[in-house]
Structure formats: C-alpha cells, structure tokens
Chains A and B, each alone.
Chain A
Amino acid sequence: MSLAGETNASAQAGANSVNWLRLLPWGLAVVLLAILPFVFGSGAGLTVLNQMAITIIFALAYNMLLGQGGMLSFGHAVYMGLGGFFCVHLMNRVEFDGLWLPLPLLPLFGGLFGLLFAVIVGSFSTRRAGTVFAMISLGVGELIAACSIIIVAFFGGEEGVSADRTMGPALLGIDFSSQKEVYYLSACWLLISAAAMYLYSRTPVGRMANAVRDNEERAEFLGYSQRKVRFMSFCASGFFAGIAGALFAINFEILTEENLNLATSGSVLLITFLGGVGFFVGPIIGAIVFTLLQTVLSLFTEIWQLYLGILFVMTVMFFPFGLTGLIAIHFRPYQLGKLGTLIIPYALIAGPALGFALGSACVMEILFHARHAALGDETMTLLGVSFNSHSPAPLLLAVAVAGLSVWALRKLLPAFKDAWDEANHAGDAS
C-alpha cells in the first residue's frame, strides 16, 4: 500500500520553485475555514466547529507520535490537559493580577508548557518504542490524572479550575465574548499548527522519525540516535498538544480531571486510528468524522459509545489503514480510469450492507430498551415506528433483516471482489 504522505515524486522537481499545486489544499482549507461559520452559524454549529478544530490539532499532534514516530501513547491527554490548565491559570492572572497578555497569544504559552512537560517525561520514556513506551505513557498519564485530584492548588480538585477569557486586553476591539470570535481564533491556530506539523514532517528530523519507526537499527547505523529522534518527535507532539489544550481552555473556560484521564487519551487514539495513521490528513478526517458521529449519534441513541467501540474494533481488524486508507485504495482504479466500473458493484452491496448495519443496530436498540427502560415503559420508537420492545416480533424481524443481509452479502462478495481486482488491474479485462 502506498502511503500518500510519504511518496514524494515531485520532490526533485520542486526543489527550488514553489509548487503551487501542493499549496492548493492549504488554500482550500483557508477558504473553507473562513466560510464555515456562515453555513453553520448557529450556537450549536459553532460549538461543534470549535470542538472539531481543537480535536484536529490534538489528533494531528498525536499522530506525530503514532503515525510518524511509531510510538503508541495511552497518556497523551496529559500534555493537552496540562497546557490547558496552565492557560486557565494564565487567564486568571490576566483577570486578577493585571498580567498583560492578549488572548490570541495564549495558545503559544499552552504549547510551551506542553513542551516543557514533554521534555521531562520524554527524557526517560522515549528510550524504547513499542510496548514499553506504551506502558510508560499509560503510567505517567494515570499518575498525573490521579495527582490532579489531590493537588487542588493547580488542578482545582474534583470541580476543576475555570476562568473568563474576555478579561484580557482587547486587540482591534475584539474581546472574544462571542463564539464566532473564538472560532476564528481556533481556526487560525488550527491552520498555523497544521502547517507547522506538516512542515515538521518534511524536515531532516521529521524524515528520520519515519526512518526510526520503520527500522530503528538501520537508522542508528546512519548516524542517528533512535532515542533522540523519538525524543524530538515526542517534544514536538507535546508542544502542539499544549496548543490544543490552550484552545480548549479558551473555548470552554474550564478544565477538569476529565481532560487528563485515560478516556480522553483513549479517544484521541481512537480518532487518529479511525482516520488513518499512515497519512497526514488521516487525523483530520478522523477528528471530523468522530466529532460528527459523537454529536449526531448521541442525539439519537443512548448506546452510541457501544457503536463507536464496535466501529473501532472493526477498523483495527479489517481496515488498519483507517478511513483515509479506504479512500486511498481507490486512487489506483482512478489512475487506471476504472473508478466508474466500481459504481455498480458498490451499489449492489450497499443495500445488504445497510440492511445488516440497520438490522443489527435495531437488535441492539430493542434489547437495550427491553432491559433498561423504566418499569412499565414498553413502547419504543425506531425509524419512525412505535412498537412494544418486550414482544418478540420486532426483535425477530430485526434479526431476520440482519441475517438476510449477511446471506445476501456472502452471495455478492465474490463478484464484488472480482470487480475490485479487475479495477486494480492495468489493461483490459480479457
């Protein structure tokens, strides 16, 4: 599988001149970020957009470790969280002690605090990659999360610490009292951070991070200390996670133990992996999809986390290259001009696939309702139909739909696989 972020055929062509084609995605991103608030201008829309921007930065920072450096961390929330806590305290300093610090610069300080902490932890945790690194990251993460409850002065105990973002010196008359102003601040930092992280991946130490990930022994015999290369990736990742934390502090004006714990560290892993760790854009897609899923699913069902868990495990098992990987494997059929031949096979399996997903979701919803609804509440509504969740008929119907879909899928898959192979095969079918 070709990893889009790493193949680099145009490198020698564009050694001296600016390659405008490569700047196109960035230009589009600027335009998109600028007009989004006009499309989703409601309070809820802006909230989701802000959350998305923060999550994207955090996931990109996380992927500097996992995707580019081969380091699996179970405690990366710590660097985002500590950056955030530090910024909340800075905001309070601004409000109560008259410290002169314009809000737009705050993320820089969040980043520096994240960096500082990453330097401390990285000095011993980056000695090895793999399992050992993962365990240390988990231990340090849990240590800080546990400390946050007992060190009240800094972490505020159970209720966390809060601040008011509007108390800083206003620049150009902007005091960040509206969601939209906060959005544009987040969008700016998102662009800066994403560009910086992309550029980092194209520097000598960024390239060597990939080299160490793929083959640490070979990299050592090329003059590079694997430990130092990992340490630098780790520090850079801590810096950008700190920026994400600062934006979180600005956006929500409160940080709690939740920002540091394993659940947050786990969800960034989930987001990044879902998006695709082998690609620079993977975490971006992951963060967008995850935030949308979370927002939409939680409106409709109580067991959305179960669905996310299933989705995650299925991704690890069947699509280890994530959503971006799924998109990327269509690149070869596209190059061969055969993408069109896939439309009909896709349309054929779409029905049963949807049937299976909906059928099994209905089974779970009915079972959940039957087990957990309040005593006497036996009516539930699914897909616009109301019925008694305790009677066997709806459950059997859902099981039947799911079962039939599986049967149909098994019938259709061989033909689909043939069509797929054909579409990836150069030359005419003969």
Chain B
Amino acid sequence: MSLVLVNLLDGLVTGLLLFMLCSGLTLIFSMMGVLNFAHASFFMLGAYFAYQISTYVGFWPGLLIAPVVVGVAGALVERYGLRRVHKHGHVPELIFTFGLALLIEEVVQFFWGKSQMAFEEPEILKFAAFSIAGNAFPAYKVFMIFVAVGIFLALLYILTKTRVGMIIQAALSYPETVQNLGHNVPLVFMGVFGVGTALAGLAGVMAGPVLGTFPGMAVVLGSIVFVTIVVGGLGSLWGALAASLLIGWLQTFAASYNVTMKDVLTSVGLSEPADLATSALRDLWTLTLPQIGPILPYLLMVLVLAFRPQGLFGKRET
C-alpha cells in the first residue's frame, strides 16, 4: 500500500511536469493550428539557461529569469521565423519547428557540450519532506507539485476570468471569427507562443535537477509530449491534463513493479518452452514490466487512435 502511495506521488510529479509542457503546446496548437515540434527544445533551453544563471547567482533567480528568457526567445521565433513560414501552410510550419528542434539541440551542444551539466536542486530543498514506509520523498518534488498546481490554477484563472482568456477561449473554438473581431491576432499569436514556450522553459528549470540537464533531454521528453496530447485529444486542455497524469502514473507504476511476462504467462496456464534460448518467442518470456514501461505511452496512443480517434477528451476527429 505504501509503495502505491509513493508511486502515486512520483507519477503525479511526472504527470504535472508533462502537463506544463502539454498545456503550452495545446494552447499554441489550438490558437495557431501549428504543432510546435520544438516545444521540448524550449523545455531544454529552460534547464540550460537556469543552470547557467545558477552558476552566477544561484537557483532561485534562475527559476524566475530563465523562463522569461525562453519566452522571449519563443516570441522572437514566432515573429521572425514561424510567421514567415505560416503563409505556406501547416505542413511547412511543422517542418520549420522540426528543423528548429534539430538546430536548438546543436546550439546547446555548441555552447555546453555533450555531457550532463551539474545542475542541482537548491540546498534549501535538499531534504526528505517525509517518508512513507522507508521511502524518502524529497522536498524538491513537493515543491515541484506546488509550482505545477499553482501554474495550473493561474492558467485556469486567466482562461476563465480575464479578457485575454476569453479571447483565447473564443479563438480555440472559432479561430476565423476572432480574427474578424478586430483583435490584433498576430500579437495574440506571438504572446501565446511566448507564454507557451515560457511554460515549457519553467518546466525545464524544474525538471533539470531531477531528470538531468543534457542535450538529449528534449528528444527523450519530446515524443512523449506529443503522444500525450494526441491521447488527450488535440486542442483539449482537460484532455492534456488527464492524459499527462495517466501517462505519468503509467510510467511510474510500470517502472516499479517487477512483473515478468513469465509470471503472467505461466499464471494463464502456458508452460515455458524448453528451448528458450533459441526460441523466436524468447522475448515474450523474458520481458519485464519495467522494460515495457517506456513503450506503454506509445501503445496507449495506438490503442486510442484505433478505438477513439478524437482522443480521450477531444472534440475533433483526428
């Protein structure tokens, strides 16, 4: 039972982190129709910027400054890059953001090299907040949960209670109509792209010390982020939240229960083949749940696409 609780909390941390990425991505997608392939790259930039800043002035200023810098970079990319490609349609836009993702990875390697940075959580949070049956739960993760929930509530407030939020919500449902209402749509686009990438940057700052700050971190998380928003339903914020948490828990639970396929197969009455070492089915028998864990999100995506193409909460048929 206590292990379940630990996993629930760990999965919550992963899920909320995913959601911080997915919320920005969903906002950008819903507003502009463009799926920002480089979103996870901005996440990575957040971690690297925060690391660089932390070497001069410590973790806390980095937590505040890095997302802003990432957001400004994102807004500039929208203004001078994406807007230029926009007239050619969505596929070139997607190709552009893909190229950008490649480029950001190379730029990061150019400045910081290929090895992992020594980016660590601040001293003040380096203690166990509490422990469950001998499993210490670090204070930093508690902090992450609070920040993520805070961001979520702030987004919810902005989207439902402010004028800007109303415009964004309207744009989510009726993009053409809002353009005709005389709002400065290019500016709104730039703002949404900036805020979305800043959110990714903030997620990067917080994830850097936990997941490691290295040039591959964008690729590792990037595909999962896309899977998440497809599972949740393209353009649905609630779907993104649900899918983020689902995938967060799926991965955490899969990683910590060492169920082997052998146990499963023998329990349903199959017997292990004698020639296991050479059998073509040997992998079926030797696989373990932690091994399968990383592919579960992709399997989930394929299943969702097969049985519910619009995603868990999506309205648009995909």
Contacts and interface: CB of A to CB of B under 8 A. Distances in A.
A151 B223 contact: no
Contacts of B223: 138-139, 142, 262
A72 B295 contact: no
Nearest to B279: A153
Contacts of A138: 223, 226
Nearest to B33: A131
Nearest to A313: B99
A118 B94 CA distance: 23
Contacts of A147: 295
Nearest to A318: B84
B59 to A, nearest CB: 23
A266 B98 CA distance: 8
A183 interface: no
Q: Report the contact-size class of chain A (Cβ under 8 Å from the partner).
A: 35 or more
A262 to B, nearest CB: 7
A142 B298 contact: yes
B91 A306 contact: no
B96 A309 contact: no
Main SS class of interface, B: helix
B287 interface: yes
Contacts of B99: 270, 309, 312-313, 316
Interface string B76-117: 000001001100101110111011101101110111010000
B2 interface: no
Contacts of A417: none
Contact of A151 (B91, B283, B301, B309): B283
Contacts of A45: none
Given A127-B309, A138-B226, A313 B318 contact: no
Interface in B37-65: none
B294 interface: yes
B84 A153 contact: no
B281 A153 contact: yes
Given A124-B305, A303-B106, A150 B295 contact: yes
Contacts of A320: 85, 88, 92
A317 interface: yes
Contacts of A151: 283
A316 B85 contact: yes
Interface string B190-230: 00000000000000000000000000000100010011001
Contacts of A273: 95
A218 interface: no
A140 interface: yes
B98 A269 contact: yes
Interface in A165-192: none
B85 A317 contact: yes
Given A316-B92, A317-B84, A371-B111, A139 B298 contact: yes
Contacts of B301: 136, 139, 143
B124 interface: no
Contacts of A143: 295, 298-299, 301-302
Contacts of A135: 35, 226, 230, 234
A69 to B, nearest CB: 11
B103 A309 contact: yes
A375 to B, nearest CB: 13
B307 to A, nearest CB: 10
Interface in B256-297: 279-283, 287, 291-292, 294-295
A40 interface: no
B306 interface: yes
Contacts of B306: 124
A176 to B, nearest CB: 27
Given A128-B317, A128-B318, A269-B95, 9 more contacts: A130-B90, A131-B29, A139-B230, A146-B295, A150-B291, A303-B106, A306-B107, A317-B81, A320-B85
19 contacts: A66-B91, A74-B98, A128-B317, A131-B234, A135-B234, A139-B302, A142-B223, A142-B227, A150-B283, A152-B282, A270-B102, A303-B110, A310-B103, A312-B102, A312-B103, A313-B99, A313-B100, A317-B96, A367-B110
The 5 closest A-B pairs by CB, nearest first: A143-B298, A309-B103, A306-B106, A146-B295, A313-B99
